[in-house]
Copies of this chain bind each other. A is one copy, B any other.
Amino acid sequence: MRRLDALWLRMKCGGVDLFTAQPIGFIHSPYLETSAIPKGLGARHDAEGAIELLREYEPGLKDIEDFSHLFVLWEFDRAEGFDLIAHPPADAGRPHGVFSTRSPRRPNPIGLTVVELLGREGTSLRVRGVDMLDGTPVLDIKPYLSSVPAEKMRRGWLEEAEKRGSRE
């Protein structure tokens, strides 16, 4: 039996739990509440903050200071439940599928942010571009290795919203 079939069978028999997420550290950010985080069209994310890694994971940071940008995976720890339809502020509340948006109310409450690494002191990574709340649990850090060229990127409803915005 192929792996996929086995998994589908398990799904039908009552759901599959995968792994239980653990914090590897926490975010220090200037944002103490959701309403303080810039949202909507043209919102800039150049706020500085820090990733404070738990001491036990420090060896995992070896050589990280040679990367300019990092992916940070984190938990939307103050969101509860999920909606399959989201109403993003960047599009004046129009409805879009949650997987077409960055809504915090997702089936797995995982956030993803690209930050610029400004410096490291031990377990503390000083970064620019935080859009998380202060105290947010961090799940993973990965090096940012390549980009999609701008001319190959289509950005769906966000592009439409920007066009509407510039006409108004």
Residues of A in contact with B (beta carbons under 8 Å apart): 2-4, 6-8, 11, 15-24, 26, 28, 54, 57, 59-64, 66-69, 71, 73, 75, 77, 84-85, 95-102, 106-110, 112, 114, 133-135, 137, 139-150, 152-158
Contacts and interface: CB of A to CB of B under 8 A. Distances in A.
Contact of A137 (B16, B96, B109, B145): B16
A6 B137 CA distance: 12
A108 B64 contact: no
Would you call the interface of chain A mostly helix, strand, loop, or mixed?
Answer: mixed
A168 B75 CA distance: 43
Contact of A20 (B17, B146, B148): B17
Given A17-B20, A67-B100, A108-B139, 7 more contacts: A19-B21, A19-B109, A59-B84, A60-B99, A68-B153, A143-B155, A147-B150
